[in-house]
Structure formats: C-alpha cells, structure tokens
Chains A and B, each alone.
Chain A
Amino acid sequence: MDPLFLLIQVLNGVQYGLLLFLIASGLTLVFGILNVINLAHGSFYMIGAYLAYALTLKTGNLWLSIALGLPVAVLIGLAVERLMIRPLYSRDHLYQVLLTYGLILVFNELQSVIFGNDVHGVPVPAMLQYSIPLTENLSYPVYRLAVSAICLVMVAVMYFVIQKTRLGMSIRAGSVNREMVQSLGINIKLLYAIVFAIGAGLAALAGMIAAPLSSVYPGLGEHVLIVCFVIVVIGGIGSIRGAFIAALLIGLADTFGKVLVPDFASVATYALMAAVLLWRPQGLFGRA
C-alpha cells in the first residue's frame, strides 16, 4: 500500500476514533457512576448535529452555533435526567433500557416533525476550507485535522477535570463506592445530574463538529450509539481510559475495514469486540 494513502487512512481512523471517544466517554461515565444504561445517548449526538444545522442556517457561523447550541443540549440533558432518569436509579436495568428506548422514538419523531426527513448539509467554516496537498491528486482537508484537534483538547480537559479537580475526585470516588461518597456528605443527586449533563454535552458537541463532515440525516444518532456501546464494552464499563483506547481501535478498524473489506466493514467492528471479549470478558480496563 502507498505510504501516503496509508497515512490518510490512519488520520481518518484516528479522527473518527477521537470523535467516537467524545460520545462514548459520556456513555461510559453514565454507566460507571450512575449505573444507568442510556440508550438515548445517541439522541444527544443527533440533537447536536441538528442544532448545528439549524443555527448555522441562521447565524452562518459554526463556532457561534456551537457556543449557542451547546447550552441548549446541556439543558435538554438536565431536563431528561431530572424528569425521566432520576426515578430509575434504584430500578432494574431493564426499565432504564425501556425508558430510554421510548425516548429515542420520541426524539426521532420530534426531529422528523421539526426538521423533516431530508438530508441536510452543514458548510465547513470558511477559515478551514482548505486541503493540504500531499501529491498531485491526494490531499487532506484541514477541517478533519481541526476536528481531531478539538477532540484532543476535550480529552485533555477531561483528563484534567477528572484527575485534578474536586469534581473529578467525587466522580472517581462515586464510580468506586457510591454509598461512601454519599455518607461523606457529597450531594450525590447533584453529582449525578452534572455527570449526565456533561455526557449529553460531549455527545452534542461531537454531533456539532461532525455535522460538516457527514451530512445531517434522520437516525444518525442510532448508528453512532451502537458503535459506542461496543466501545464501552471493549474498554470496560466505566473506564474512560478503556473507552479512549477502544474508540481509537474501533476508529482504525472501521476505516481500514472500509478500505480492505468494503462489503463487511460493519462486521469488522463487532468481530473486534468478540475477539477482545473472548480474551477479556470484562473488557480491556474493566473491573471483573
């Protein structure tokens, strides 16, 4: 294989993986700390993408749209947590699966009522509308690099928040022993709400920055959701580090799968998962 072509595929794979990590990290946090299965997590990705579409149509600027849209997505996340998820903390996973399944149906129908079922595009911001020429007919779009950069910044921020701040300390403690955190006087309800909102915000952000790369279409949250489930399983439930490594693995497997075995690219992801689980049933970084 041509090394430049290989480089492009690696860049694409890493970019896709980083984007998936933004979504999967929220999912794994909600699993690990709230002990809740949130099938509607993909809906926040969709909400982000459609907010980016609607707001850039109005404002003409993607960055401004992100600044305006992100608080909206976080507020929706807070409302969902308060009204629907909170009553389910003490109930079986079964009910969480069902309720969030119902939420997906509701969000999808609302999307179709508000925006219709057409495929929409979001323009790449003017300042990033370049491609870096690699050879005569190969080039790499700057916006993809920018997406990777934004994701890396978010990874750094998350690492800092979780490892170095008081909030992060509570989050880490909460994932190990909830009762203890509670009895130490930390407001666990507030902590849960914050974690859920952060997860919703990260997924929405991913949807926003991915909007110019892939078009905005109905049901786009669902494919991403299932892939993120696989990432969370491979990484080990509740492990951010595991999610990071698994996301990159899946990003690369998917990209190279599409190049090498185009007919079965989607199966590659799940085959990877099966292989990892045969070796480590609790995932790469999961606690047994």
Chain B
Amino acid sequence: MSEQRITLALAVVGVIVLALLPQFADRYYIQLFTRIMVMAIFAMSLGLLVSGAGLVSFGHAAFFGLGAYTLALIGAKEAASVWIALPLAIACTAVAALAIGALAVRTSGIYFIMLTLAFAQMFFFLFNDWKALGGSDGLYVAARPTVEIFGERLLNLNNRPTLFYVVLGALVLVYLLIGVLMRAPFGKVVDGIRVNEHRMRALGYNTYRYKLVAFVIAGAIAGLAGFLYATQNTYVNPALMGWRESGLVLMMVILGGMRSRLGPVVGAFALVLIEDVFQGITERWLLLVGLFVIAVVLLLPNGLAGLLARLQPKKAVADG
C-alpha cells in the first residue's frame, strides 16, 4: 500500500471510531475528545502554514484567541445566532491575519518566527490590559450559539454529543478543504515556494501574494477552531492568545510529523492525551510535558509519523 492509501485508510477508520465514540464513552471522554478535535482543527491550520508553505508561525494562537473572543463579545449578553457569529469570527480573524501577514510574510526564517510571536504578544497584551475586552480575567459566553433556520431549532449545542458531532463534522470538512486546496494549482505553487522560493519567483509567481493568502486561510481556520473552543468552554481568557498556546500547537504539528496531511491531527490527539495521562500521574505534569517535548526533538527527528514510517518495511517508505 502506498503511503497515501495508508493515510486515507487511517483517516476513514479514525472518523468511524470517533463517530461511534459518544455511543459508549462517558461525559468526560466526550468532552475530552471534543477538545482534542478542536485542537486538531487548530493544528491543521498551522500545519497548512508550516508543512505547506514552510512558514513557521510562532504566533498562531492570536487567531485562535481572536475567534474565541469574537463569540464571547457577541454572545456576552445572550445567545448569538451561529449564522452571524461564525462568519463574523472567521472574518475578524481573516482580517487580522491579513494585517499581520502583510508585514510578516515579507520576512522568512528566524525573522518570521519572531515577528509572528511579537504580533501575537501584542494581541495578548491588548486583550490582557483592556478592561472593556475582559482584561486578564477573561470573558464568559452567556449561552452557546443557537443554530436555527426560520425560527426552528436545528441543533442544540448544549447537548454534549451534538456538539461533539458538530466539531467532528468541522474537523472532516477542514481536512477535506485543506486537501483540495493543496491539490489545486494554488497548493502546488505554495509547495514550490517551500522547496525553493527563488525558483518560483523566477518562474514568474508573485510568491508574496501566495504566502499571504496561505497565511490568511490558516488564520481563518484557526479562528474557526477558536470559535468552537469558546462554544465548548463558554469562557475565554487572554492566555488563549499567549505564546505558550502557540508553542503547544506548533508542538502538535511537529509531533505528528510534517510529511503527512494527517500529521497535525495525530499530533493533537497524541499531545492532549499525553497531557491528560500526565495530569493523572502528578501535579508536576508540565515537567513531564517539557521532558517529553525535549525527548521528541532529540530522539524522533520526523515526529510520530516518522516513527511509523520507520516501522514499515523499507519498500513501503520508498513508494511514498
């Protein structure tokens, strides 16, 4: 089997297992896996930038946080309609990504990493210091958004399994969207920019514009993830935009390995589950997470997916 087929098979099996999960898992696990899937969407959006365009953003949490805050600000008094809140959240993050990206995408390498970090910190401090935006205490979402058509309630997001399936649907949609995007001419150009930007420019492509579009799309998807996060937790705080969150999601992308489109999803599942296990072992779980991160970087150069590839017979890897 080629690597693509294996990925497809894994994805299909994964979705089926997840779809069955609410039938036998208890409340805790439904919530845990909803959270994991939200993080997986977030990680996929960063994966589009990192393994797609080769842009390592260390400030991606800014868009996640902005999406979450949009819902919190609209739904502070009463439940917002999802038809208004969701497009607004995505539009806000896309505009923010356009503004930051227009500056950041001009640079590359270390400069890009640090610029994105610095801009994300700017957002963090804005929301942290401004009382009208909740300040360091954060904001509560009054009620989860309503999903209605002509006044008829379509879905009740307060129902945990319903929310679980909505997030699962979003996960599959985003996965397919990124797949279509990367197979389209746009994806090929972005791929080329990652491998050799000079050559793409010599071929006549306006690489700046392609990178900026990739940055905006990644930002908008992160905004969607943030929106879903706020819907699930009904609480947002500035830490969502902080650099720790950006580091965490970057860790997911790398942990999953960057050769496969499924990598960020695998990374999100692995990291959140590992955190959950560590939290059960000790109060000092962050120490274990830190050591784990260091061990992965030093011992697994290609992430967990690389580990799988190493276990496969040599020929299968050569086919991929």
Verify if B56 is at the interface (C-beta below 8 Å from A).
yes
Q: Which residues of B contact A88 (CB under 8 A)?
A: 297
Q: Are B254 and A277 in contact (CB under 8 A)?
A: no
Distance between Cα atoms of A278 and B28 in the complex (Å): 48
- Contacts A87-B298, A94-B250 given; indicate if A226 touches B118 (C-beta within 8 A): yes
- Contacts A37-B113, A226-B243 given; indicate if A98 touches B287 (C-beta within 8 A): no
Please give the distance in Å from A228's CB to the nearest CB on chain B. 10
Q: Are B50 and A102 in contact (CB under 8 A)?
A: no
- Contacts A233-B111, A233-B114 given; indicate if A106 touches B103 (C-beta within 8 A): no
Enumerate B276-296 residues with CB–CB distance to A below 8 Å: 284, 286-287, 289-294, 296
Q: Which residues of B contact A277 (CB under 8 A)?
A: 103, 115
Complex: chain B residue closest to A230, CB-CB: B118
| Residue with the greatest number of chain B CB neighbours at <10 A, chosen from A31, A109, A222 | A109
Q: Are A226 and B290 in contact (CB under 8 A)?
A: no
Q: How many residues of A contact B (CB 8 A)?
A: 46
| Residue with the greatest number of chain A CB neighbours at <10 A, chosen from B286, B289, B294, B301 | B294
Q: Which residues of B contact A226 (CB under 8 A)?
A: 117-118, 121, 243
Q: Which residues of B contact A105 (CB under 8 A)?
A: 286-287, 289-290, 293
Distance between Cα atoms of A91 and B298 in the complex (Å): 11
**A–B complex contacts, Cβ < 8 Å, 26 sampled:** A35-B110, A93-B56, A93-B110, A94-B250, A95-B301, A97-B58, A98-B250, A103-B290, A105-B290, A106-B294, A108-B286, A113-B287, A226-B117, A226-B118, A229-B117, A233-B111, A264-B126, A267-B122, A270-B118, A270-B119, A270-B121, A270-B122, A274-B103, A278-B103, A281-B107, A282-B111
Q: Are A109 and B284 in contact (CB under 8 A)?
A: yes
Q: Which residues of A contact B56 (CB under 8 A)?
A: 92-94, 97
Verify if A74 is at the interface (C-beta below 8 Å from B).
no
A-B complex: 6 closest residue pairs judged by Cβ atoms: A105-B290, A102-B293, A270-B122, A109-B287, A266-B125, A106-B290
Distance between Cα atoms of A263 and B125 in the complex (Å): 10
| Residue with the greatest number of chain A CB neighbours at <10 A, chosen from B118, B251, B254 | B118
Q: Which residues of B contact A263 (CB under 8 A)?
A: 129-131
Verify if B128 is at the interface (C-beta below 8 Å from A).
yes
Complex: chain B residue closest to A95, CB-CB: B297
Enumerate A89-131 residues with CB–CB distance to B below 8 Å: 91-95, 97-99, 101-106, 108-110, 112-113
Please give the distance in Å from A218's CB to the nearest CB on chain B. 12
Q: Which residues of B contact A157 (CB under 8 A)?
A: none
Verify if A237 is at the interface (C-beta below 8 Å from B).
yes
Distance between Cα atoms of A270 and B243 in the complex (Å): 14
Where the two chains meet, the residues of A that have a C-beta atom closer than 8 Å to any C-beta of B are 31, 35, 37, 39, 84, 87-88, 91-95, 97-99, 101-106, 108-110, 112-113, 222, 226, 229-230, 232-233, 237, 263-267, 270-271, 273-274, 277-278, 281-282
Q: Which residues of A contact B247 (CB under 8 A)?
A: 39, 97-98, 101
Please give the distance in Å from A124's CB to the nearest CB on chain B. 29
Q: Which residues of B contact A84 (CB under 8 A)?
A: 294, 298
Q: Which of B106, B109, B125, B293 sits near A101, CB closer than 8 Å?
A: B293
Distance between Cα atoms of A284 and B144 in the complex (Å): 48
Where the two chains meet, the residues of B that have a C-beta atom closer than 8 Å to any C-beta of A are 50, 56, 58, 103, 106-107, 109-111, 113-115, 117-119, 121-122, 125-126, 128-131, 243, 247, 250-251, 254, 284, 286-287, 289-294, 296-298, 301
Q: Are B118 and A233 in contact (CB under 8 A)?
A: yes
Q: Which residues of A contact B107 (CB under 8 A)?
A: 281-282
Distance between Cα atoms of A233 and B125 in the complex (Å): 18
Complex: chain B residue closest to A104, CB-CB: B290
Please give the distance in Å from A23's CB to the nearest CB on chain B. 15
Q: Are A109 and B286 in contact (CB under 8 A)?
A: yes
Q: Which residues of B contact A94 (CB under 8 A)?
A: 50, 56, 250, 254
Q: Are B117 and A237 in contact (CB under 8 A)?
A: no
Please give the distance in Å from B39's CB to the nearest CB on chain A. 17
Q: Which residues of B contact A232 (CB under 8 A)?
A: 114
Q: Which residues of A contact B292 (CB under 8 A)?
A: 102
Complex: chain A residue closest to B284, CB-CB: A109
Q: Which residues of B contact A92 (CB under 8 A)?
A: 56
Complex: chain B residue closest to A261, CB-CB: B129
Q: Which of B121, B287, B298, B301 sits near A110, CB closer than 8 Å?
A: B287
Complex: chain A residue closest to B125, CB-CB: A266
Q: Are A103 and B294 in contact (CB under 8 A)?
A: yes
Please give the distance in Å from A279's CB to the nearest CB on chain B. 11
Complex: chain A residue closest to B287, CB-CB: A109
Complex: chain B residue closest to A113, CB-CB: B284
- Contacts A95-B297, A267-B125 given; indicate if A237 touches B111 (C-beta within 8 A): yes
Q: Which of A31, A35, A95 sits near B254, CB closer than 8 Å?
A: A95
Distance between Cα atoms of A105 and B290 in the complex (Å): 5
- Contacts A99-B298, A230-B118 given; indicate if A93 touches B113 (C-beta within 8 A): yes
